[in-house]
Structure 1
Amino acid sequence: MMIPKTMKGVLLTGHGGPEVLQYRDDIAVPLPSPNEVLIRVHAAGVNNTDINTRIAWYSKNDGGDTDASWSGNALVFPRIQGADVCGVIVAVGDNVSAARIGERVLIEPCIREANGEALESPWYNGSECDGGFAQYTVIAAKHAYAVNSALSDIELASFPCSYSTAENMLTRANVTAHDRVLISGASGGVGSAAIQLAKARGAQVIAITSPSKNQQLLDLGADQVILRDVDLVDTLGENSIDVVIDLVAGPQWPQFLQVLTPGGRYAVSGAIGGALVELDIRTLYLKDLSFFGCTVLESKVFQNLIHCIEQGKITPIVAQTFPLEAIAQAQDVFLKKKHVGKIVLTIPD
């Protein structure tokens, strides 16, 4: 196919509100360097990470711009965000087989190779490098995974970030069929993915959410749903949970440690309820708890996810779609947290 010289996309021009997102039709189409592929993007999911990066939430320097990228460094502007990418390879760089042209792919969002070299510290697609909120994007060939599925581009774009994050948390915490798993923020993209993936491992799943979303989570496979503001110890009992999959943190956090069994495992990959929590260190060591901070994907996690998709073991949950030019509206709806599953942007022809 003929590759144009310019494309439509959204540029992040600085840290701030939606006003720093600029929809343009004159962005230069990137060219694949050696070991890279050029992907025509068809759909891209909306994530907390995109918004957190935009508002400098990752900065520990009072919202300063010196450490506000996903990796803790300064963000380079303008930047094309977008970690969840489904598209088709339309061109390849040197050292990549031309046979890959035409492959339908998902991009692994945790980047370990860029510019033909292995990275000392991983990047996040759309943070340290340009992502999928545009018609075209380039990525190291190793991070573009072929996927053979009857699902639509929109459905496939709901998987990469949320489901790989969930699978990584379950992998790090070594969730098995013998475990009773408590999932916070269970109606979001990662939480709803964790329900399905934990059930695929045979675990018993208890999901925390709001009343309006109870039935949807039960339909996903949750064995029990409890309200987000309940006292977890009164409701579940002390020492009753083997694994906590936490995406919320916040004021309720100490209760997670109370309900964990001795030798229990706690995995975290989000803090939408508040990043600062109170830890009684005695609970940590007297109960022999294990804590897992989960960001960088374990090896094989993304390939395992591709296998689950192709084998139909997990179901895409698309709450709503928006055209790319309505990204500000999409992120506003996302932040209201009234949806279950993913919000996905469609990329213009």
Structure 2
Amino acid sequence: MKAVQVTGYGDISKLSLVEIPIPEPKENEVLIKVKACAINNTEIWMREGAYGTDSKSGWRPEGVLFPRTPGSDITGKVVKAGKLVEESIVGKDVVLFPFISSGEEGSEHIAEDMSFIGSEYDGGYAEYVVWPAELCFDMPLSSYAESAVFSVSGLTAWHMVKQIQAQPGETVIVTGANGGVGSLNVQIASKVFGAKVIAIIGDLESKEKIKELGATHVVSYKSDTFVEDILELNGGPVDSVLDVVGNALFSTALQVLKNGGKFCISGSAGGQKTNLDFRTLYLKHITMYGSVLGTKEEFKDMLKAISEGRIEPVIDKAFPLEKAKEAQTYFKNKGKLGKILLLPEK
């Protein structure tokens, strides 16, 4: 089969298109013909070594073992079952829960042995992938491409909104609202949990589309009166911030949060380190959350909301598998709206 492998830490030259054997499912696994795989920051940061030191960067302390096939937002059709798996699963269209861990229900995502598909296991930048049968769920939509945009971004966004306990009548700021996690944060906070959303983006070209996703207001961080704009639109400080940007908007987020406000971060595309005056936290009684992924129960709840039409897929562009380098380069462009896809059969 064709696959794209990361051969080591570095730039996109570390992505290599190869021909390798189709994997065999173990007794509790299934073989899936990949139909679509969405791109996430996580596989780019894995390649770039952003999760640790250059020699040991990954979800596990030992770092990534190369070569590794990335890709964690995967949909496809089950074509073979391991000997302990019910044969009835063969032929099903599935979406993959993106990690394995021994954590108890409700804490799977924080277990020490949490291992991620596309980082600790070979992922979806390939024509086939193997994965435990119990972590394969029915697709929420009939389209492989549309169903592939939720697994990592959607689960992360759902867990973020759950952590801040968003409520009807509250105001939530969503940074990076045009991105994969951000566009889902907008939808989940507003359409599922009933909060008022102020979406933060750079250029306002996608303003109307983001309003369609559920944002009450859309604000550009390039405004000379950025903080004042937010406070005026909301009539005062906001209840919570859902952040995927990091350093670039961190000080603004703390400024516009109310006393007793909540700040939840799941990414740092705008800078991984920041200066923090602790007095801001304790004098304003701010609660901070670090967040990535979520639980299987949250995954199921998310899939249900998608199937009910409460959350919609937002896709910017699709690339064939062979153009993974171009796709990852495009992914890092500012101004895109929604997810970038790799389609092995395109």
> TM-score of the superposition, structure 1-length normalised?
0.91
1:259-304, Cα deviation, whole Å (9 max, x unpaired): 1112211111000110111212112112221111002413411111
5+ residue gaps, structure 2, are: none
Select which of 41, 48, 61 maps to 1:48. Answer: 41
1:39 equivalenced with 2:64 (yes/no):
no
The CA distance in 2 between the partners of 1:203 and 1:18, in whole Å, is 39
1:138 equivalenced with 2:130 (yes/no):
yes
1:203 equivalenced with 2:195 (yes/no):
yes
Q: Match of 1:286?
A: 283
1:232 Cα deviation (Å)? 4.2
Task: State the superposition RMSD in angstroms.
Answer: 1.9
The CA distance in 1 between the partners of 2:140 and 2:280, in whole Å, is 46
Instruction: Give the paired residue count.
Output: 334
Sort the Cα spacing of 1:243 and 1:71 in 2 relative to 1 into closer, same or farther, 3 A.
Answer: farther
The CA distance in 1 between the partners of 2:296 and 2:254, in whole Å, is 28
1:82 equivalenced with 2:74 (yes/no):
no
What is the percentage of aligned positions where both structures have the same residue? 35
Q: Match of 2:13?
A: 19
The CA distance in 2 between the partners of 1:43 and 1:65, in whole Å, is 30
Sort the Cα spacing of 1:92 and 1:273 in 2 relative to 1 into closer, same or farther, 3 A.
Answer: same
The CA distance in 1 between the partners of 2:128 and 2:149, in whole Å, is 18
Q: For residues 211-222 of structure 1, what are the structure 2 equivalents within 5 Å?
A: 211-222=204-215
Q: For residues 1-349 of structure 1, what are the structure 2 equivalents within 5 Å?
A: 7-25=1-19, 27-59=20-52, 61=53, 64-66=54-56, 68-112=57-101, 120-150=112-142, 152-200=143-191, 201-209=193-201, 210-230=203-223, 231-237=225-231, 240-348=237-345
State whether residues 118 and 124 of structure 2, in contact with CA within 8 Å, keep that contact through their aligned partners in structure 1. yes
1:174 Cα deviation (Å)? 1.2
5+ residue gaps, structure 1, are: 1-6
The CA distance in 2 between the partners of 1:266 and 1:343, in whole Å, is 27
1:328 Cα deviation (Å)? 0.6
State whether residues 220 and 226 of structure 2, in contact with CA within 8 Å, keep that contact through their aligned partners in structure 1. no
Q: Match of 1:3?
A: none
State whether residues 239 and 258 of structure 1, in contact with CA within 8 Å, keep that contact through their aligned partners in structure 2. no
The CA distance in 2 between the partners of 1:38 and 1:255, in whole Å, is 47
State whether residues 253 and 278 of structure 1, in contact with CA within 8 Å, keep that contact through their aligned partners in structure 2. no
Letter in 2 for 1:112: S
SS in 1 for 2:78: strand
SS in 2 for 1:251: helix
